[in-house]
Amino acid sequence: MMDGAERAGLRFPFPHPPEEGAVTELAEGVLWARLPLPMALDHVNVYLLDDGAGWTVVDTGFDTGRSRAIWARLMEGPLRGKPVLRVIATHHHPDHIGLAGWFQAQGAQLLTSRTAWLFARMLVLDAQDRPLPETAEFWRRAGMAPEILAQRLNSRPFNFSDVVAPLPLGFQRLAEGDHLRAAGRDWQVRLGQGHAPDQITLWSDTCNLVLGADQLLPGISPNLGVYATEPEADPVAEWIASCTRMQGFAREDHLVLPGHKLPFTGLPLRLHQKIEGHHAALRRLMRHLAEPRRASACFAPLFNSRITDGTYGLALVEAVAHLNHLVAQGRARRVEDPEGVWLWQAVAAAGVLSQGAQKG
């Protein structure tokens, strides 16, 4: 959402996405399809790996009638009637795991990280008619605009169960360094952090393919958010560390198959762009914090697009993430105003910095 998308230096060998219900063959036994999403980022990429007797599906889209109908067309057409034997959910977000349980009900095995499965199953069982008190308090302390807060407190929040099929017990864990075989190739699991905990990426150096999920996107940076579940979290540090670590594996000839947008090559450059994009945003934010600011007053230095009602929540949690990161680094401090709302301000450079600034 934040780094704006420098495309210079990246290459897009498949410049046109597949039509709804159709596929594009990216390599032998590796197919690309798209599922629609009812939001500004209006699609999610899914990948179909031909295992001979059946298919391994990487990510699934939302659980909606439209998505199920598209999958029915795919299975009858490009998948040639062969069963889906395995589903790999790269992370717990609903556009990626939404139909995993639906496939499991038809006999498929679910493979994902332990953290992703636990988060997804917890959230799909946690339906609420109104925001929880802890969430409401987190929004208030982050400085959510009063009129937006009032509207949200009187509205049914988004629930995972709205777009995620029930997840039955049972999955196969994928962990850092694991290997699996799919589409006639060996793949190594490398976990990313920041956007989602223990997000799966799959690397097959023998055929130069990387299934990058939302960890490796061209053109956009995924949301790095802090929520009431872990209000002191520092996903920005985790994100930068993951991107830095993956620089040690990235090659120019890797064809990256991302969770959104187009497959691309030029991964070393893209990782550099991702890291520098967040460092640049943090520099802008530091200048903005010459005066005490609420998180909701920090959108301008972080985002190069207009924040609308539909993106306000994501902008707020990402602003808190970057502010938390500055506090963790000792570059900013957090205090409370008389109403108990958090205010962040840059720490003066001359002799005031300390390891981990004290939080108010």
Strand-pairing partners, residue 109, are 86
Helices 146-153 and 133-141: crossing angle in degrees, nearest 10, is 170
| DSSP, res 310 | T
Alpha-carbon distances, residue 321 vs 158, 221, 285 (angstroms): 21, 14, 12
Instruction: Give the integer Cα–Cα distance in Å for 186 and 45.
Output: 21
**pLDDT digit string (tens) for the chain, length 360 residues:** 444 444 568 999 999 999 999 999 999 999 999 999 998 899 999 999 999 999 999 999 999 999 999 999 999 999 999 999 999 999 999 999 999 999 999 999 999 999 999 999 999 999 999 999 999 999 999 999 999 999 999 999 999 999 999 999 999 999 999 999 999 999 999 999 999 999 999 999 788 999 999 999 999 999 999 999 999 999 999 999 999 999 999 999 999 999 999 999 999 999 999 999 999 999 999 999 999 999 999 999 999 878 988 899 999 999 999 999 999 999 999 999 999 999 999 997 433 433 333 443
pLDDT at 8: 62
Domain count across the chain: 1
Region for residue 290 given its phi and psi (left: phi exceeds 0; alpha: psi -120 to 50; beta: otherwise): alpha
Kindly list the strands in the beta sheet with 55-58, ordered across the sheet, starting from the edge strand earlier in the chain.
Answer: 24-27, 30-36, 43-50, 55-58, 84-88, 109-112, 172-173
Residue 10 located in a structural domain? no
pLDDT at 121: 97
Structure tokens at 48: 């179909």
24, containing H or E segment:
strand 24-27
243 contacts 195 by C-beta, under 8 angstroms: no
Residue 175 located in a structural domain? yes
pLDDT at 6: 44
Residue 116 located in a structural domain? yes
190 contacts 246 by C-beta, under 8 angstroms: yes
Instruction: Give the integer Cα–Cα distance in Å for 220 and 214.
Output: 10
CATH (domain of 184): 3.60.15.10
Helices 235-246 and 267-288: crossing angle in degrees, nearest 10, is 150
Instruction: Give the integer Cα–Cα distance in Å for 75 and 98.
Output: 17
Instruction: Give the integer Cα–Cα distance in Å for 87 and 111.
Output: 6
Residue 222 located in a structural domain? yes
Single pTM value for the model: 0.93
Residue 77 located in a structural domain? yes
19 contacts 33 by C-beta, under 8 angstroms: no
Residue 167 located in a structural domain? yes
Residue 309 located in a structural domain? no
Residue 2 located in a structural domain? no
- Residue 331 contacts by C-beta under 8 Å, 6 or more apart in sequence? 286, 346, 347, 353, 357
226 contacts 233 by C-beta, under 8 angstroms: yes
Residue keyed to tokens 């069963």? 83
Residue 98's domain comprises 24-130+158-277
